[in-house]
Structure 1
């Protein structure tokens, strides 16, 4: 017997894909929603290919489904170049409208709907505007800046009125997982950078500020938390920070990353990956042929994540960068205690990309 019927929106993204694997393998009836069909090695699922900005199409398709019990919304609209869009009203409005276009018909046509989970992040604390209090806590008042997080949160709370379903918001730190060609996943970016360095006999140098204290979260851990939240009373109408449970600096994990990718690390070197990587398409093509990888063009691999790499690596930032750390006490006290060692996460994820022939196993 299935645990429930969940619709995972944005299933090709880093969190959505991890959730797809988790819920399929855990015995759920799963519908994935994204423009292209996601990969899933865990079993079968139904897929709906759709552009969430098309309101009429969304209404037609999702009004015809009446047995959804859970929704996990991970879809995201980002502009080319990524970072500037975080501050622009039309990008925020598009993210709100995408959520509305699917949640309006689902909430209206699914009387058995029980729970909705969706994502925010540390931008909720204003990390892209200013340094934040350490540790950032969910109980603090809303940071005073424009953010599509607030648009979506206020919308879900309004939609929920007079309904029987509940919601949970997760605020992850830097997310790592299995996806490529997406807006914010550093694993393929680091792997491509390493492969090109190896091919061109260039040292695998960290391309930014390696001394900043950071937190990571494995997308598989978020997926576990989303399943936990689906039935847990303590998760109802709550916001939770989520991390792996440890901290790291790029300088301290770079040797582990280098070993995982079988490359020799070099001294730190300020390289703007958003400008440098797209120029390496011919070299990447030769790497794909040499190691018999899946025929993904470099642009198809990068998405907008090379811009995210510059941001997360602190490229070009001369002044000291204050750590942006969050408290996960609330989530632990609510009953979710899972964690993962960040260095082990890097090893496992790079290995997965190699086993799936997306990144090369370098000689």
Structure 2
């Protein structure tokens, strides 16, 4: 065992991480990363996480909106040393408007408190808590932002639960002696369905278009260059930040390390999904999928797919795709963030965005959640 491995073994000894939002896109990636590193991992969520590695873990079924239930449940876990908070409440129906909704802000703030307060009450030896934000912290959904956006930029003056959560965890850390890290990933994609992951929606859209004899046209608005963050990479950053002294009480932007443009990666997505591209055709992917649910049902039956519940598979990903594709917008989001701070702090891993997108889509195909690529 080399010195680096010995240091890692020493760091993780006695550490037990609670991953909240365990069944979600980032939650599952975080669990896999911590298990790979030999940590004791407990997952908390309403649904039991299904790990792509096939491994199992201790799971707490809990509704974070039920304060009494959460308090009673988490009081049993007196040995938690680290928390990865990846839970999120999004109001249904109007995704973008919900980002500034007062009720949604209060609910997300309370959910975090419902997790941390019982652990503090029972004297859990908390060392570190990670929470997740995003470029909405810079106001990207409301106005142009600095290019690139830096963690040192003044706090943007707009309603957002990110700030309430950050202030709470910072104050609690000072009072109770634990450190914290805030991660701000760009648009997150990955191999887990549901929630805000746009890839299942892209796959469903492609399958419907193919079944109807239509081309896989890009449905978005104006061309723009952007950045992504693969969920597995975010999981690696969460693992690193849990013990790195350089991550203590810091904020970090997270991206794959490159840039991309949707029309440039569209042919690679088409090849993976075994569909033919066509001329651009701007329309709402969310509306299109809703209008063609019956076609998707035929696709599921035709190929013997496992995901009969379309809503569970795509979550709000189709609505998120409309935003991500700049559908109906005069221009796409001009959103670039600097990851220099993360590199200088000691995290250097990167991933090619095109590879990340196609590998995730192939994973859905391999698990019979999307049609086979050669039919």
* Residue 167 (structure 1) aligns with: 180
Tell me which of 16, 19, 22 is aligned to 1:11: 22
Q: CA deviation at 1:322?
A: 5.1
* Residue 351 (structure 1) aligns with: 362
2:274 is aligned with 1:233: no
TM-score by length of 1: 0.96
Tell me which of 335, 342, 349 is aligned to 1:338: 349
2:307 is aligned with 1:307: no
2:265 is aligned with 1:248: no
Tell me which of 75, 98, 105 is aligned to 2:118: 105
* Residue 278 (structure 1) aligns with: 290
Q: CA deviation at 1:209?
A: 2.2
* Residue 115 (structure 1) aligns with: 128
Tell me which of 66, 69, 74 is aligned to 2:78: 66
| Structure 1 range deviating more: 1-10 or 40-49 | 1-10
| Structure 1 range deviating more: 282-291 or 62-71 | 282-291
Secondary structure at the counterpart of residue 16 of structure 1: helix
Q: CA deviation at 1:163?
A: 2.3
**In the TM superposition, what whole-angstrom CA distance separates every residue of 1:231-278 from its partner, at most 9, and x where no partner exists?**
100000000000000001101111111111111011111121121111
How large is the Cα RMSD of the aligned pairs?
A: 1.3
CA distance in 1, matches of 2:112, 2:44: 12
Secondary structure at the counterpart of residue 161 of structure 1: helix
* Residue 220 (structure 1) aligns with: 232
Does the 8 Å CA contact 2:198/2:314 hold for their aligned counterparts? Answer: no
Q: CA deviation at 1:289?
A: 1.7
Q: CA deviation at 1:295?
A: 3.6
Q: CA deviation at 1:210?
A: 5.3
Q: CA deviation at 1:147?
A: 0.6
* Residue 148 (structure 1) aligns with: 161
Q: CA deviation at 1:359?
A: 1.3
CA distance in 2, matches of 1:124, 1:242: 13
**In the TM superposition, what whole-angstrom CA distance separates every residue of 1:171-210 from its partner, at most 9, and x where no partner exists?**
000100122221x101101111111111111110011125
Does the 8 Å CA contact 1:278/1:299 hold for their aligned counterparts? Answer: no
Secondary structure at the counterpart of residue 204 of structure 1: coil
CA distance in 2, matches of 1:341, 1:307: 25
Secondary structure at the counterpart of residue 266 of structure 1: coil
Secondary structure at the counterpart of residue 42 of structure 2: strand
Gaps of 5+ in 1: none
Q: CA deviation at 1:164?
A: 2.5
CA distance in 1, matches of 2:161, 2:253: 18
Tell me which of 26, 35, 43 is aligned to 1:32: 43
* Residue 260 (structure 1) aligns with: 272
TM-score by length of 2: 0.93
